[in-house]
């Protein structure tokens, strides 16, 4: 099944994209066209070591390359984005997360290519309107930072495309790909995030702090009534994320409701829990110290996220998700401790 399919993966040099490339390879898919900026980064280079693919295309050259070569593309995963939540220059997010994503969408629409793209739980802001992936709430959402705003702006644009007058039966006037899903990733963690520095997961930072000084610094709570370390997030293991992506690839000819879908586990867990599980993965007793949160993110911080997963499960995804304990155990013992990539 996999050999003939030509699949584009944007963001392939990065964390989730490179894990998806690995997973696709494991399933027999090697006709992959990888897209990213590919500015040399030793750690990112290791993300793609021993991976099988056809081409690496620089992000800014993609549409010229497609126009020139006219390849038959069977599926497109658009995972590339500016993901730095502490980058407050909105024009950077607008260019990559909105404008470039519109170009990807339009290409898939014009060429009848199924599309899965990365949205984000950052769109939910402080959760004033809950964490439900229904389309009616998109216009109301109040993201806390430029990254979340850009992701929500693209989601809003997508919904407008899909709710405007429908095309004729022969497909003329189509404003959407034949199959599409926007995945609202919650707090993804796992191998191949070694390059992400400040933006890497708390598990990654905890592991390194334990290795360096035997303790972990967690942010104090600056919210009244919430004790330190009990900020709650929905942490989802990257192996589950790529499994869902692959499932969407396998079902795109089946009946499916195109739309936005949450991708978390459905269970919020405290940073304290996560840190204790990281210590346990190293067979150590927890040693946690609480520090002030940096001022530049204090007002932009999500204290709680929890994905409502009903929609994805109702659509037919029935594989169990890694629990926090299972995911962190696998990540710490089989990747971080051995400095291995997925």
CATH number reported for the structural domain that contains residue 166 in this entry: 3.40.50.720
What does the DSSP 8-state code read for residue 304?
B
What local confidence, expressed as pLDDT, does residue 212 receive? Answer: 96
Residues 19 and 116 in one domain: yes
Judging by DSSP bridges, how do beta strands 75-78 and 187-189 pair with one another?
A: unpaired
pLDDT tens per residue, range 198-231: 889 999 999 999 999 999 999 998 888 889 999 9
Burial 270-298 (b: 16+ CB within 10 A, else e): bbbbbbbbbbebeeeeeebebeebeeeee
Judging by DSSP bridges, how do beta strands 269-270 and 7-10 pair with one another?
A: unpaired
Kindly state whether residue 298 falls inside one of the protein's structural domains.
yes
Residues 261 and 287 in one domain: no
Please give the distance of CA 230 from its chain centroid, rounded to a whole number. Answer: 24
Percent of the chain with pLDDT strictly greater than 90: 82
Q: Is the pLDDT of residue 171 over 70?
A: no
* Sequence-separated (6 or more) residues with CB below 8 Å from residue 128: 142
Residues 207 and 330 in one domain: yes
147 belongs to the catalytic site: yes
pTM summary value: 0.94
Q: CA-to-CA distance for 285 and 57, rounded, in angstroms?
A: 46
Q: Is the pLDDT of residue 36 over 90?
A: yes
Residues 86 and 162 in one domain: yes
What local confidence, expressed as pLDDT, does residue 327 receive? Answer: 98
Q: CA-to-CA distance for 335 and 291, rounded, in angstroms?
A: 28
Residues 120 and 168 in one domain: yes
Kindly state whether residue 273 falls inside one of the protein's structural domains.
yes
Torsion angle of alpha carbons 307, 152, 249, 8, nearest 10°? -140
What local confidence, expressed as pLDDT, does residue 1 receive? Answer: 47
Mean local confidence (pLDDT), 169-185: 82
Q: CA-to-CA distance for 255 and 150, rounded, in angstroms?
A: 30
Q: CA-to-CA distance for 190 and 241, rounded, in angstroms?
A: 10
* Set 102, 156, 196, 215: catalytic member: 196
What local confidence, expressed as pLDDT, does residue 222 receive? Answer: 87
Residues 204 and 245 in one domain: no
Kindly state whether residue 244 falls inside one of the protein's structural domains.
yes
Q: Which of 11-20, 156-165, 166-175 has the highest mean pLDDT?
A: 11-20
Q: What would the two tokens of residue 298 be?
A: 């204090």
What local confidence, expressed as pLDDT, does residue 87 receive? Answer: 75
Helix axes 238-251 and 15-26, enclosed angle (nearest 10):
60
Residues 24 and 138 in one domain: yes
Burial 311-331 (b: 16+ CB within 10 A, else e): bbeebebeeebbebeebbbbb
Residues 158 and 210 in one domain: no
pLDDT band, very low/low/confident/very high, at 173 (cuts 50, 70, 90) = low
Kindly state whether residue 281 falls inside one of the protein's structural domains.
yes
Burial 233-268 (b: 16+ CB within 10 A, else e): bbbbbbbbbbbbbbbbbeebeeeeebbbbbbbbbeb
Kindly state whether residue 341 falls inside one of the protein's structural domains.
no
196 belongs to the catalytic site: yes
Kindly state whether residue 1 falls inside one of the protein's structural domains.
no
Mean local confidence (pLDDT), 274-278: 96
Mean local confidence (pLDDT), 96-103: 95
* Sequence-separated (6 or more) residues with CB below 8 Å from residue 187: 121, 201, 233, 234, 235, 236, 264, 305
Q: Which domain holds residue 92?
A: 7-189+234-266+311-322
pLDDT band, very low/low/confident/very high, at 298 (cuts 50, 70, 90) = confident
Q: What would the two tokens of residue 85 be?
A: 């939540």
Residues 162 and 239 in one domain: yes
What local confidence, expressed as pLDDT, does residue 261 receive? Answer: 98
Residues 145 and 248 in one domain: yes
Q: How many domains does the chain have?
A: 2
User: Can you give 40-87 as a three-state secondary structure string?
Assistant: CCHHHHHHCCCCCCCEEEEHHHHHHHHHHHCCCCCEEEECCCCCCCCC
Kindly state whether residue 242 falls inside one of the protein's structural domains.
yes
Q: Which segment of 161-170, 288-297, 323-332 scores lowest on mean pLDDT?
A: 161-170
Please give the distance of CA 174 from its chain centroid, rounded to a whole number. Answer: 27
Residues 132 and 34 in one domain: yes
pLDDT tens per residue, range 38-97: 998 899 999 999 999 999 999 999 999 999 999 999 999 999 988 777 677 888 899 899
* Set 147, 194, 237, 331: catalytic member: 147
- Residue 277 is part of a domain; what is its CATH number? 3.90.25.10
CB atoms within 10 A of CB 26: 12
What local confidence, expressed as pLDDT, does residue 67 receive? Answer: 96
Kindly state whether residue 214 falls inside one of the protein's structural domains.
yes
Rounded mean pLDDT of the chain?
93
Residue 233, beta-bridge partner list: 269
Residues 113 and 215 in one domain: no
Please give the distance of CA 307 from its chain centroid, rounded to a whole number. Answer: 14
pLDDT tens per residue, range 111-134: 999 999 999 999 999 999 999 999
Residue 173, Cβ density class (10 Å: 0-12 exposed, 13-18 middle, ≥19 buried): exposed
Q: Which segment of 155-169, 230-244, 302-316 scores lowest on mean pLDDT?
A: 155-169
Q: CA-to-CA distance for 114 and 304, rounded, in angstroms?
A: 33
pLDDT band, very low/low/confident/very high, at 197 (cuts 50, 70, 90) = confident
What local confidence, expressed as pLDDT, does residue 167 receive? Answer: 56
């Amino acid at each position: 099944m996999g050999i003939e399919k030509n699949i584009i993966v944007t963001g392939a040099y990065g964390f989730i994209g490179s894990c998806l490339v690995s997973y696709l390879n494991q399933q027999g898919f090697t006709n992959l066209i990888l897209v990213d900026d590919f500015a040399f980064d030793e750690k990112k280079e290791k993300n793609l070591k021993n991976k099988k693919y056809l081409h690496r295309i620089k992000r800014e050259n993609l549409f010229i390359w497609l126009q020139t070569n006219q390849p038959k593309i069977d599926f497109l995963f658009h995972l590339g984005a500016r993901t730095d939540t502490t980058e407050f220059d909105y024009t950077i997010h607008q260019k990559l997360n909105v404008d470039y994503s519109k170009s990807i969408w339009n290409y898939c629409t014009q060429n009848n290519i199924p599309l899965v793209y990365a949205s984000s739980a950052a769109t939910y802001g402080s959760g004033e309107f809950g964490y439900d992936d229904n389309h009616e709430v998109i216009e109301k959402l109040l993201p806390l930072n430029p990254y979340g705003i850009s992701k929500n702006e693209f989601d809003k644009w997508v919904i407008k495309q899909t709710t405007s007058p429908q095309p004729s039966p022969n497909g003329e006037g189509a404003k959407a790909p034949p199959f599409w899903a926007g995945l609202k990733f919650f707090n993804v963690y796992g191998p191949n995030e070694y390059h992400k520095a400040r933006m890497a997961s708390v598990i990654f930072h905890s592991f390194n702090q334990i290795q360096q000084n035997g303790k972990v610094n967690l942010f104090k709570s600056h919210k009244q009534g919430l004790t330190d370390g009990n900020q709650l997030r929905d942490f989802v293991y990257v192996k589950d994320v790529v499994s869902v992506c692959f499932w969407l690839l396998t079902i795109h000819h089946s009946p499916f409701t195109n739309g936005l879908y949450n991708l978390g586990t459905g269970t919020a867990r405290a940073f304290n829990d996560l840190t204790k599980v990281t210590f346990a993965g190293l067979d150590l007793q927890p040693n946690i110290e609480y520090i002030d949160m940096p001022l530049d993110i204090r007002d932009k911080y999500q204290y709680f996220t929890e994905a409502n997963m009903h929609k994805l499960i109702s659509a037919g995804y029935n594989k169990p998700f890694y629990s926090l304990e299972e995911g962190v155990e696998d990540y710490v013992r089989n990747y971080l401790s051995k400095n291995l990539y997925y």
